[in-house]
């Protein structure tokens, strides 16, 4: 998915370049920046890791360039289009490059032990036509954040069902809360909020065999409920959901203006820094905890053109060691993509703040990232989904339009 924002929903600043020098082989890596300031720019993580690797592997140099999520996917595409792709790219989507036969398969590169260590659902999401090209790099899930102070003032308990959520939102509105429930269906990350609600309603973007089912009856019921029971009753705040972006919703939560919203781990640091007392619970489902929550993964991929298969594979085995996976996850409040690092995090008191998200990961369902059509479908969702909950909105009609767009995109994909 070529996007201006990470699939994990983070923005960042432009990074610099890794070190250069003469060596037998120089691996070029382009990576995304997960930091939110120059002080924690991902360039520092990669430079430290690269120097440590080079000290143990003479004859190999790792040249890293880190770019913001606003730029990184475009930078890689420009390099590919110019005929000079990097050896490695850590970005938001891989399927287009896999479909163009530009990538090494994961089992061409990684040791058996490293391949076996990836969490199964993440490895599965990295497949195109049952072959894995996308290597999971960082993961995230969603939970419901709520403002403890506002809940205490209204004598509320966290919701477990949609009806609970609506009742809590009504009570928060009566107390003058600006956004009782923040519903960001704006173009920045509407596909994420949409997917979380589809899952909580018992469906999703696709069925169990991966066919788009966006206009299913369950999905229509979900958005009809949102239109009538939340948005129509003025429980989602002064900004129309179709114009509210995720970053603005997070900012409002950090200002104490939001009672509830779906959030990922980076919101913890933002809210805590602002002095907001918050709690986290599983996202409510229609009748209780849904059978699946939303998970997001960003990807590592290796381009074939440079021909450095052996060196790439050895470097990736190092990148995915338990220590390095944990170091990165802890630095940026993300979830490990390997079983060994996940188990270590689950046993480490220092990672207690990430445990609620880690517990959700085993139940997580990811975007259909292995479909080259997903980028187009995601763009259509961002453009249209806000109309389902607007005054006079037609959820069934909008979902039918999205289904038509998805079916046409998938037909083109299958015709390749």
49-53, 363-367, 412-416: the lowest-pLDDT one:
412-416
CA-to-CA distance for 107 and 208, rounded, in angstroms? Answer: 25
In this predicted structure, what is the pLDDT of residue 11?
A: 43
Check if 25-140+296-366 and 143-282+372-414 are the same fold: yes
Read off the pLDDT of residues 219-276 as tens digits, 9 standing for 90 and up.
999 999 999 999 999 999 999 999 999 999 999 999 999 999 999 998 998 999 999 9
Averaged pLDDT for residues 328-333: 94
CB 82 within 8 A of CB 109: no
Residue-averaged pLDDT of the chain? 91
Read off the pLDDT of residues 71-93 as tens digits, 9 standing for 90 and up.
899 999 999 999 999 999 999 88
In this predicted structure, what is the pLDDT of residue 375?
A: 86
Instruction: With CA atoms as reference, report the closest residue to 103 among 300, 386, 371.
Output: 300
CA-to-CA distance for 97 and 108, rounded, in angstroms? Answer: 16
Read off the pLDDT of residues 31-64 as tens digits, 9 standing for 90 and up.
999 987 788 899 999 999 999 999 999 999 999 9
In this predicted structure, what is the pLDDT of residue 8?
A: 57
b/e map 118-138, b = 16+ CB within 10 Å: bbebbbebbbbeeebbbbbbb
Q: What angle, 0 to 180 degrees and rounded to 10, lies between the N-to-C axes of helices 42-56 and 322-332?
A: 170
Other CB atoms closer than 10 Å to residue 176's CB: what's the count? 9
In this predicted structure, what is the pLDDT of residue 39?
A: 82
In this predicted structure, what is the pLDDT of residue 285?
A: 95
In the CATH scheme, what architecture does the domain 25-140+296-366 have? 3-Layer(aba) Sandwich (3.40)
In this predicted structure, what is the pLDDT of residue 208?
A: 87
Read off the pLDDT of residues 85-137 as tens digits, 9 standing for 90 and up.
999 999 988 999 999 999 999 999 999 999 999 999 899 999 998 899 999 99
Averaged pLDDT for residues 184-209: 94
- What percentage of the chain has pLDDT greater than the value 70? 94
DSSP-assigned beta bridge partners for residue 303: 103
Cβ neighbors of 250 (< 8 A, separation 6 or more) are: 261, 263, 267, 270
**Looking at the predicted structure, is the pLDDT value of residue 144 above 90?**
yes
CA-to-CA distance for 268 and 87, rounded, in angstroms? Answer: 34
CB 150 within 8 A of CB 172: yes
CATH entry 3.40.190.10 includes domain 143-282+372-414: yes
CB 399 within 8 A of CB 220: yes
pLDDT bracket for residue 342 (50, 70, 90): very high
In this predicted structure, what is the pLDDT of residue 3?
A: 36
pLDDT bracket for residue 416 (50, 70, 90): low
DSSP letter, residue 386: G
Read off the pLDDT of residues 145-168 as tens digits, 9 standing for 90 and up.
999 999 999 999 999 999 999 999
**Looking at the predicted structure, is the pLDDT value of residue 391 above 70?**
yes
In this predicted structure, what is the pLDDT of residue 411?
A: 86
**Looking at the predicted structure, is the pLDDT value of residue 13 above 60?**
no
Other CB atoms closer than 10 Å to residue 238's CB: what's the count? 9
CA-to-CA distance for 247 and 249, rounded, in angstroms? Answer: 5
Sequence spans of domains, the chain: 25-140+296-366, 143-282+372-414
In this predicted structure, what is the pLDDT of residue 16?
A: 40
What is the H or E stretch that residue 365 is in?
strand 364-366
What is the H or E stretch that residue 152 is in?
helix 148-153
In this predicted structure, what is the pLDDT of residue 372?
A: 87
**Looking at the predicted structure, is the pLDDT value of residue 19 above 50?**
no
DSSP three-state, residue 17 = strand
Q: Which position has the higher pLDDT, 390 or 39?
A: 390
Half-sphere exposure of 286 (CA within 13 A, CB side): 17
DSSP letter, residue 107: H
């Amino acid at each position: 998915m070529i996007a201006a924002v990470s699939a994990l929903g983070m923005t960042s600043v432009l990074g610099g370049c890794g070190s250069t020098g003469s060596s037998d082989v120089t691996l070029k890596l382009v990576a995304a920046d997960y930091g939110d300031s120059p002080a924690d720019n991902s360039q520092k993580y990669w430079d430290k890791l690269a120097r440590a690797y080079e000290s143990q592997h003479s004859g190999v140099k790792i040249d890293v360039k880190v770019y913001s999520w606003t730029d990184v996917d475009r930078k890689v595409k420009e390099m590919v289009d110019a005929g000079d792709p990097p050896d490695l790219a850590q970005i938001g989507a891989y399927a287009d490059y896999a479909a163009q036969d530009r990538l090494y398969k994961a089992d061409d590169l990684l040791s058996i032990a490293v391949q076996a260590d990836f969490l199964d659902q993440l490895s599965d999401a990295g497949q195109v036509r049952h072959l894995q090209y996308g290597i999971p790099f960082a993961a995230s899930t969603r939970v419901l954040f709520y403002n403890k102070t506002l809940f205490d003032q209204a004598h509320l308990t966290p919701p477990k069902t949609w009806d609970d959520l609506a009742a809590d939102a009504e009570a928060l509105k009566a107390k003058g809360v600006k956004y009782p429930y923040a519903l960001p269906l704006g173009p920045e990350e509407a596909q994420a909020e949409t997917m979380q609600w589809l899952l909580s309603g018992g469906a999703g973007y696709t069925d169990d065999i991966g066919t788009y089912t966006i206009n299913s009856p369950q999905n229509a019921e979900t958005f009809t409920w949102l239109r009538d029971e939340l948005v129509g009753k003025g429980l989602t705040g002064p900004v129309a959901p179709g114009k509210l972006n995720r970053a603005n919703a997070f900012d409002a939560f950090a200002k104490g203006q939001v009672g509830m919203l779906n959030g990922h781990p980076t919101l913890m640091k933002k809210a805590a820094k602002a002095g907001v007392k918050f709690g986290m619970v599983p996202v409510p489902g229609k009748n209780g905890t849904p059978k699946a929550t939303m998970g997001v993964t960003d990807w590592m991929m290796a381009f074939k053109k440079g021909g450095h298969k052996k060196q790439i594979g050895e470097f990736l085995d190092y990148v995915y060691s338990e220590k390095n996976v944990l170091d990165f996850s802890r630095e940026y409040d993300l979830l490990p993509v390997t079983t060994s690092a996940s188990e270590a995090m689950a046993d480490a008191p220092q990672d207690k703040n990430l445990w609620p998200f880690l517990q959700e990961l085993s139940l997580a369902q990811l975007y259909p990232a292995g479909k080259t059509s997903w980028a187009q479908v995601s763009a259509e969702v961002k453009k249209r989904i806000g109309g389902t909950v607007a005054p006079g909105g037609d959820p069934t009609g909008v979902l039918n339009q999205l289904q038509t767009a998805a079916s046409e995109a998938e037909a083109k994909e299958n015709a390749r």
